[in-house]
């Protein structure tokens, strides 16, 4: 299992395709704070709730200087379907090789109903303007998570 990030760590650089196949890099957001959240799968109930919550809070977050990037192992085509079906405004990125998920410690052993397996660990990493980890939250809940982040960040 990969190491989890800690506040003060340099956020691993990445470039991934968005829902339209355009490359998006963490470096594109230098000078702004970025909330990078990792979710297991597009078009599932919990992930839909979380993505809709981020979309609903996007203006508040942007005004406070935060960009939001959602990353899952889905392919761009599925992300486009997800975005269009749910009218999402959040930038969704595809990581089918799970390289970024692993680099951020968001892929590993999970337990569910007594079964152990490898999967995406629902996580949120807040990266500051200099590209350093400000907060690293792992095993977060899909529901109510965005409101908690906004409260914790003092927005």
Question: Which residues are annotated as catalytic?
Answer: 47
Number of helical H runs and strand E runs in the chain:
4, 9
Backbone angles phi, psi at 65, to 5 degrees: 95, 20
Distance CA(97)–CA(34), nearest Å, equals 22
Contacts 24+ apart (CB under 8 A), 28-31: 29/67, 29/69, 29/127, 30/129, 30/131, 31/129
Beta partners for 120?
107
User: Which two three-digit tokens encode residue 13?
Assistant: 């650089």
């Amino acid at each position: 299992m990969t190491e989890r990030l800690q506040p003060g760590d340099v956020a691993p650089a990445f470039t991934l395709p968005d829902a339209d196949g355009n490359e998006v890099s963490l470096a594109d957001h230098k000078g702004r704070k970025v909330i990078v959240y990792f979710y297991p799968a597009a078009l599932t109930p919990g992930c839909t709730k979380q993505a809709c919550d981020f979309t609903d809070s996007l203006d508040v977050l942007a005004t406070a200087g935060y960009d939001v990037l959602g990353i899952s192992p889905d392919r761009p085509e599925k992300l486009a379907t997800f975005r269009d079906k749910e009218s999402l405004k959040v930038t969704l990125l595809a990581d089918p090789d799970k390289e970024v998920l692993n680099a951020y410690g968001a892929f590993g052993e999970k337990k569910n109903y007594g079964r152990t397996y490898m999967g995406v660990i629902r996580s949120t990493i807040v990266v500051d303007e200099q590209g350093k980890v400000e907060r690293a939250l792992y095993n977060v809940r899909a529901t109510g998570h965005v409101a908690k982040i906004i409260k914790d960040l003092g927005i």
